[in-house]
């Protein structure tokens, strides 16, 4: 039996891992987390994916308990601005497409939808809630989609059946602090110190880490949560990192934390605004925005990117400190090598366009618990783990490349290049199919990667890459059922907008 796990790194990845291992295994496993005060956390990573709900429920935490302590807000989806053309916007919501007579509402929209109005606002309820800046919860705390209300218990991503309708925005440092308290209250040993050496035995397996002040810390299994450094997995075990830069060229970001003390409005979505050489995120937390420009330094310099971001997000606030980040885009060939598992930025990172960093962490931790080894170190456990992690990351990579390849915008060298750049082979085929008909579960990236066909279609339609014509089969089906569904969806959306409080009002009561 494995007795002790040593986690190196106390960012979001480190503390999510520590708290989840404690929730899963309790006192049957010793967990030590070492984090440096000298090496700061990445300081970004504040928009999440709807499945993060499973993580907090697994820990036994209701959002009313942790969200206010983390300056949190709601995220019903992502609003994409200017990706198709200047002034155009659409939403990628957390909402599955309804289906009528075996065809998705998006298929029906192509045949009978009102093409003078945007696709997303006719096919999803959530888009109306975003436009109205609504909270997904009523003032009494109940959720608009009652079938999904209530705790999910100790469920995992694999057990996810329903599409939870929202995710969260939160302050990354406050989440780390919150989870640190959760973990240490449950027995995680917390060592604040610098790891200065990583010890290996004669087989090359990790035996201990040496810290500046606390000496040697030994363990059976080591979790590398040291961020882009990959101190254990890359620097010590020399695992190869496969770059995705050939298909995802953004390699830098600059971020600002912009106070919003006086605001009495709040967007219930992340905004991704296309810029000349990349895109800017706007993540509304309760009293501030997180903003950042993700770009490729082939097209714009860091100084230009910072100035563009300042003009966009914080004019006149030259006092705010900018955080320049060099991004390592890609994944380790294997995230589990010998007795070391990398989780977080040390394992993999694609750019933050669909907020998948924390989702990768959650997936990695769940798979670690599922494939947890004993001292026989059965290599098939590690092999299966590596296979699943690789497929999730590769699927998200394809989905992100689609964002650039399918975007109608082509007014600058950056956007022109995005149309002719290399792309993963599988994606090329999928995009060719999508010119003929919308994608279904069989025709998106085939392995689990978090995104369903509705996401792929919401992006294709929103970005301006619609199929050339509706599915021919629909010409043989009476559209009356679909017409009724479009009308029902609009009525439901109108009723919800009328009933739900604003996102700000609901959160103000929660934070109070
Ligand atoms: P870090 O935060 O870098 O933590 C590394 C830890 O290792 C620190 O505690 C450090 O002290 C410690 N450490 C390093 N060296 C040593 C040593 N020698 N001894 C001891 N300790 C050491 N994800 C999302 O889900 N949503 C987003 O919106 C999002 N936006 C992002 C935007 C950008 C620009 C980037 C780069 C990433 C974004 N991510 C996002 C990803 C997200 O930020 C990370 O997945 C998350 O913060 C986890 O980081 P980490 O814990 O792996 O690394």
509 Rama sector, left if φ>0, alpha if ψ -120 to 50, beta otherwise: alpha
* Residues whose beta carbon lies within 6 Å of some atom of ligand 1: 8-14, 34-36, 39, 41-42, 44-48, 172, 194-195, 225-227, 229, 231, 253, 292, 325, 327, 344-346, 352, 355-358, 361
Strands 288-295 vs 252-259: parallel, antiparallel or unpaired: antiparallel
Token readout for 498 is 């009328």
DSSP 341-370: EE-STTTEE--GGG--HHHHHHHHHHHHHH
- Are 149 and 143 contacting, i.e. CB atoms less than 8 angstroms apart? yes
Distance 493 CA to ligand 1 centre (A): 38
Q: Whose CA is nearest to atom 43 of ligand 1?
A: 45
Distance from chain centroid for Cα 292: 15
Cβ burial of 145 (10 Å; 0-12, 13-18, 19+) is middle
Q: Within a 10 A sphere around the Cβ of 26, how many other Cβ atoms?
A: 10
CA dist 320 → 218, 256, 304, 310, 314 (Å): 42, 7, 16, 9, 8
Confidence (pLDDT) at 397: 98
Distance CA 473, CA 181 (A): 57
- Active-site residue flag, 338: no
Atom of ligand 1 at shortest range from CA of 195? 19
Ligand 1 atom closest to 346 (CA): 52
Going by C-alpha positions, the residue among 38, 59, 45, 37 that lies closest to residue 13 is 45
pLDDT recorded at residue 161: 84
Residue 249 contacts by C-beta under 8 Å, 6 or more apart in sequence? 296, 298, 417, 421
Catalytic residue among 22, 75, 133, 338: 75
Residue 292 CA, closest ligand 1 atom number: 34
pTM: 0.98
The pLDDT score that the predictor gives to residue 198 is 98
* Per-residue model confidence as pLDDT tens for the chain (512 residues): 999 999 999 999 999 999 999 999 999 999 999 999 999 999 999 999 999 999 999 999 999 999 999 999 999 999 999 999 999 999 999 999 999 999 999 999 999 999 999 999 999 999 999 999 999 999 999 988 766 777 888 989 988 888 999 999 999 999 999 999 999 999 999 999 999 999 999 999 999 999 999 999 999 999 999 999 999 999 999 999 999 999 999 999 999 999 998 889 999 999 999 999 999 999 999 999 999 999 999 999 999 999 999 999 999 999 999 999 999 999 999 999 999 999 999 999 999 999 999 999 999 999 999 999 999 999 999 999 999 999 999 999 999 999 999 999 999 999 999 988 999 989 999 999 999 999 999 999 999 999 999 999 999 999 999 999 999 999 999 999 999 999 999 999 999 999 999 999 999 999 88
139 Cα to the center of ligand 1, angstroms: 35
* pLDDT reported for residue 412: 96
Pocket test for ligand 1, best of 44, 172, 229, 451 (most atoms within 8 A of CB): 44
**DSSP letter string over 220-236?**
SEEEE--GGG-IIIIII
């Amino acid at each position: 039996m494995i007795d002790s796990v040593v986690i190196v790194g106390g960012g979001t990845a480190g503390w999510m891992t520590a708290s989840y291992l404690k929730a899963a295994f309790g006192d049957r496993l010793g967990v030590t987390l070492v984090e440096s005060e000298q090496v700061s956390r990445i300081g970004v990573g504040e928009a999440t994916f709807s499945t993060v709900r499973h993580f907090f429920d697994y820990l036994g935490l209701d959002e009313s308990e942790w969200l206010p302590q983390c300056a949190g807000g709601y995220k019903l989806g992502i609003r994409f601005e200017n990706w198709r053309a200047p002034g155009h916007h659409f939403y990628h919501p957390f909402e599955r497409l309804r289906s009528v007579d075996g065809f998705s509402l998006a298929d029906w929209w192509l045949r009978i939808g009102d093409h003078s109005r945007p696709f997303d606002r006719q096919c999803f309820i959530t888009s109306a809630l975003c436009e109205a800046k609504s909270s997904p919860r009523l003032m009494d705390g109940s959720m608009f989609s009652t079938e999904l209300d209530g705790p999910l218990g100790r469920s995992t991503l694999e057990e996810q059946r329903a599409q939870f309708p929202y995710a969260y925005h939160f302050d990354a440092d406050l989440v780390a602090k919150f989870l640190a308290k959760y973990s240490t209250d449950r027995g995680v040993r917390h060592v604040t110190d610098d790891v200065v050496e990583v010890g290996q035995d004669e087989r090359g397996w990790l035996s201990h880490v040496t810290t500046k002040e606390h000496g040697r810390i030994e363990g059976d299994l080591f979790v590398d949560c040291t961020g882009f450094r990959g101190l254990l997995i890359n620097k010590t075990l020399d695992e190869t990192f496969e770059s995705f830069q050939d298909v995802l060229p953004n390699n830098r970001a600059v971020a600002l934390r912009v106070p919003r003390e006086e605001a009495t409005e709040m967007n219930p979505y992340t905004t991704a605004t296309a810029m000349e050489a990349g895109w800017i995120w706007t993540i509304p937390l309760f009293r501030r925005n997180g903003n950042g420009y993700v770009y490729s330094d082939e097209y714009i310099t860091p100084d230009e990117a910072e100035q563009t971001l300042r003009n966009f997000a914080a004019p006149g606030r030259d006092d705010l400190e900018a955080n320049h980040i060099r991004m390592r885009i890609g994944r380790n060939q294997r995230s589990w090598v010998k007795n070391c598992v990398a989780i977080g930025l040390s394992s993999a990172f694609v750019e933050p366009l669909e907020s998948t960093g924390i989702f990768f962490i959650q997936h990695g931790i769940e798979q670690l618990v599922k494939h947890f080894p004993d001292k026989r170190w059965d290599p098939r456990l590690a092999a299966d783990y590596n296979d699943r992690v690789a497929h999730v990351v590769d699927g998200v990579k394809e989905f992100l490349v689609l964002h650039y390849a399918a975007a109608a915008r082509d007014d600058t060298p950056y956007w022109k290049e995005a149309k002719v750049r290399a792309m993963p082979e599988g994606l090329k085929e999928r995009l060719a199919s999508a010119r003929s008909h919308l994608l279904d579960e069989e025709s998106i990236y085939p392995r689990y990667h978090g995104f369903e066909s509705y996401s792929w279609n919401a992006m294709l339609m929103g970005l301006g890459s619609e199929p050339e014509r509706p599915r021919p089969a629909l010409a043989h089906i009476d559209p009356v059922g679909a017409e009724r569904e479009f009308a029902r969806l609009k009525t439901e959306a109108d009723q919800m907008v009328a009933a739900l409080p604003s996102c700000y009002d609901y959160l103000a009561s929660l934070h109070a």
